[in-house]
Structure 1
Amino acid sequence: MSKPDYITLPLRLKTSDTIFGRLHNILFITTSVLTTLYRYYVHGPESPKWTLRFHVIKNILHNYLSESLPHTTPNDLTEQIDFSFIARYIEMNNLPSRALTPDAGCNREFLIDAAALCMPYRLERYGESGNKLNVLAEADREAGRKISCQVVVGASLCGCTCSSERLLDAQPLCADERAILHFHGGAYCVGERSLTHLYVYASMSQATGLRVFSPNYRLAPAHCFPRQLHDCFLAYRHMLLVGFQPHNITLAGDSAGGALVLALLLVLREMQMPLPRNLLLVSPWVDATCSGRSWVTNQGKDYLPGLTLEDPFHPTRMFYEAGRRLDQHMLEELRCPLVSPVFGSFEGMPPMLVQMGRDELLRDDIAEFVHKVQKQSKEPAVLQSYKDMPHAFILLHFAESAKRAFECMREFLEQH
């Protein structure tokens, strides 16, 4: 379809990086803040656990996710949307990244060579999804693409005897170093290099005493499934090839990143590759079809909006195949375990800690997944539910529940 045939969409945020575009965003954020202040001081906090700062960030997130794209666009118009423009629009409105402050920790970005890490995927069980991964691996072997990764160290570790330069090295600090490989959330569309996630990594490192590595995997809708999974697979391969032992690696992820952790485990198990020591999952997006009852019952409690799959801008749609109309065939494809891990089999999985907010839309999907793992796996699968907390609440790292969640991660890693 040629460019003139695309439909024009009503967009709330800046569509060009000009003074007028920036004013649009200032007005958008200011309106969210003032509305929150009014509700907070007139009607009181929604929950005694929520500070004013918590309310402000939660409502900005909700307004951004529910209003920045026209979610009333009919499914029939999907093929008339210029998703390359939507990808630029989303990127343009992401918050700019900056380095951590010294009181939080230190971080550095490094590159890994995708071509040197690629190998054939032996995933006959997963049909077309496995074929897509092999196409990506072949393309990377020819193109020589690089993947950027973050290494983050908590503030207390920065003050140890190692120099900060040594701490931020991509190789193990010693032969038996334990480390966390974390895949960020953000509905597969945002989260790359975000300051919010850097603070999550720093808090995780501070609590556990381990360094945290995180790949900046490719984002939708510019890059659709399974590119994110392929990049995460290569990041895990990199950890092994530079000298980290699999039994010293903890795989972690929040939201979409949690789904990527589980999909990667299914790939590793199918290919008979070594599995990591254990898992830390926060609000993992285990069902891309969003079938759990809490998608209805928890609406209004979470900052996630209650979107439907009929919406072309639903994160599932943009992640899986942006620009393709939803039909019954796509719904069946979304039940592939590499897309929706809840439909997979989890015998032989390593120990896992799963944390979720009791008020989040994904609550029932996550509970069903953990129940399934507990029945299938011999290793423990621990589920922790945090009262009055929304989806991926550790992003609000200053909240008491988030601080407790990081401490529980430390306790779990000490036990397993």
Structure 2
Amino acid sequence: MSRQQREALDALLRSAPRPETRPGVEEQRRGFAEAMTRPAPDGVATRRTELGGRPALELEPAGASGHGRLLYLHGGGYVIGSAGTHAGLAGELARRTGLRAISPDYRLAPEHPFPAAVDDGLAAYRELLAAGADPAALVLAGDSAGGGLAVATLLAARAAGLPQPAAVVLFSPWADLTASGASMRSKEEADPIFAADDIHAYADLYVGAGDRTQPLASPVFADLAGLPPLLIQAGSNEVLLDDAVRLAARAGADEVEVTLEIAPGLPHVFQHHYGRLEEADAALSRAAAFLTSHLTARSWPAPR
């Protein structure tokens, strides 16, 4: 793929000013929204709605089938971000799969610390099932904290006796709130977005003094048996690289079908840069193909 595009993206991300003192939460939220929001792609209609008792954004690509659904959980360290800031990424994945998507605004820390986000993720998933969604026609995806939350949501669903969906895609999942992966140190210079201190700061706001090894907070420490097929994509230039690697290893050890893709020279959630980075478009196309390939025959109406 394009070395020039990779280098330009790295330079752009490094050019963002880093304040000497960490901004307050509201300032972080405003700055993230201003810098990162991408609208839904052309041909993807959006509508505000509710899911699981929370505001949500529905994204429907032109020509979408009525028989499959995508539940998308946005990233942002459980502190920032929203369905709106991630409308572009969620909408692009919906467009490529041809599935109607819905992305809830789960509650954020520090106002709503762990396990509020997991409770909201489970409530959203439970409502989709209660509304008649066939789990074999339901897929999940999430990025960063939303990736960890997608796994935690399915762990909570398993504990509640709910059926699992057809498949899950995770973009650069944050899956270890203890920040114990070796890449937290070895990739700090290579990562153009985060330093280890940033990860610790988000964990402090989300979990506080609580146990950061509990499985619903850090799925790398969970028993993942019974979860659906996983596709995990990460960039090699991110401090959270080992979260993806260790989560994949945990899934494989627990007999879960898992595919791990590591894109060389790319940052955290590089898929967000679709349309201007060839690797992002290719990764999203593979993610879409993975999800649709796991929608079983019983997900669709029998031919007449």
TM-score normalised to the size of structure 1? 0.64
2:42 aligns to what? 103
Q: Secondary structure at the match of 1:244?
A: coil
Q: 1:353 aligns with which of 231, 246, 257?
A: 231
Contact 1:199/1:397, CA 8 A, preserved across alignment: no
What are the within-5 Å matches in structure 2 for residues 250-265 of structure 1? 250-265=139-154
2:221 aligns to what? 343
Residue identity in the other structure for 1:407: S
2:298 aligns to what? none
Residue identity in the other structure for 2:27: Y
1:150 aligns to what? 57
Residue identity in the other structure for 2:206: F
Change (3 A) 1:55 1:267: same
Q: Secondary structure at the match of 1:259?
A: helix
Q: Look at both structures and tell me which one has the larger radius of gyration over its CA atoms.
A: 1
C-alpha displacement of 1:87: 3.4
Q: Secondary structure at the match of 2:4?
A: coil
Change (3 A) 1:98 1:274: same
Q: Describe the superposition over 1:332-369 as per-residue Cα deviations: whole angstroms up to 9, x where unpaired.
A: x1000011000010111111111110111111222122
1:50 aligns to what? 6
Q: 1:88 aligns with which of 9, 23, 26?
A: 26
Residue identity in the other structure for 2:273: L
| Aligned mates of 2:20, 2:127 — CA distance in 1 | 36
1:302 aligns to what? 191
Q: Secondary structure at the match of 1:48?
A: helix
Contact 2:52/2:126, CA 8 A, preserved across alignment: no
| Aligned mates of 2:245, 2:32 — CA distance in 1 | 31
| Aligned mates of 1:223, 1:60 — CA distance in 2 | 32
1:181 aligns to what? 71
Contact 2:40/2:87, CA 8 A, preserved across alignment: no
1:77 aligns to what? none
What are the within-5 Å matches in structure 2 for residues 198-237 of structure 1? 198-237=87-126
Contact 1:100/1:107, CA 8 A, preserved across alignment: no
Change (3 A) 1:113 1:263: closer
What are the within-5 Å matches in structure 2 for residues 121-200 of structure 1? 147-154=54-61, 157=62, 160=63, 174=66, 177-195=67-85, 197-200=86-89
Change (3 A) 1:367 1:48: same
Residue identity in the other structure for 2:56: C
1:271 aligns to what? 160
| Aligned mates of 1:92, 1:304 — CA distance in 2 | 17
| Aligned mates of 2:225, 2:155 — CA distance in 1 | 10
Change (3 A) 1:113 1:409: closer
1:123 aligns to what? none
Contact 2:10/2:192, CA 8 A, preserved across alignment: no
Change (3 A) 1:293 1:381: same
Q: Describe the superposition over 1:218-263 as per-residue Cα deviations: whole angstroms up to 9, x where unpaired.
A: 1122221111111111111121122211111101111100111111
Change (3 A) 1:298 1:204: same
| Aligned mates of 1:414, 1:212 — CA distance in 2 | 13
Change (3 A) 1:203 1:260: same
Contact 2:57/2:103, CA 8 A, preserved across alignment: yes
Q: Secondary structure at the match of 1:207?
A: helix
Long gaps (5+) in structure 2? 295-304
Contact 1:285/1:366, CA 8 A, preserved across alignment: yes
Q: 2:260 aligns with which of 383, 390, 393?
A: 383
TM-score normalised to the size of structure 2? 0.86
Q: Describe the superposition over 1:180-202 as per-residue Cα deviations: whole angstroms up to 9, x where unpaired.
A: 1010001111111444x111112
Change (3 A) 1:112 1:370: closer
Long gaps (5+) in structure 1? 1-45, 72-85, 115-146, 161-166, 168-172, 325-329
Change (3 A) 1:344 1:249: same
Identify the structure with the greater helix proportion. 1
Question: Is residue 373 of structure 1 aligned with residue 251 of structure 2?
Answer: yes
Q: Describe the superposition over 1:5-39 as per-residue Cα deviations: whole angstroms up to 9, x where unpaired.
A: xxxxxxxxxxxxxxxxxxxxxxxxxxxxxxxxxxx
Structure 1 stretch displaced more, 203-212 or 339-348? 203-212
Contact 1:87/1:220, CA 8 A, preserved across alignment: no
Residue identity in the other structure for 2:187: N
Give the share of equivalent positions with the same residue, in percent.
Answer: 28
Residue identity in the other structure for 1:205: A
Aligned length: 291
Change (3 A) 1:113 1:280: closer
Contact 1:87/1:222, CA 8 A, preserved across alignment: no
Change (3 A) 1:288 1:94: same
Cα-Cα RMSD:
2.6
Change (3 A) 1:232 1:414: closer
C-alpha displacement of 1:203: 1.2
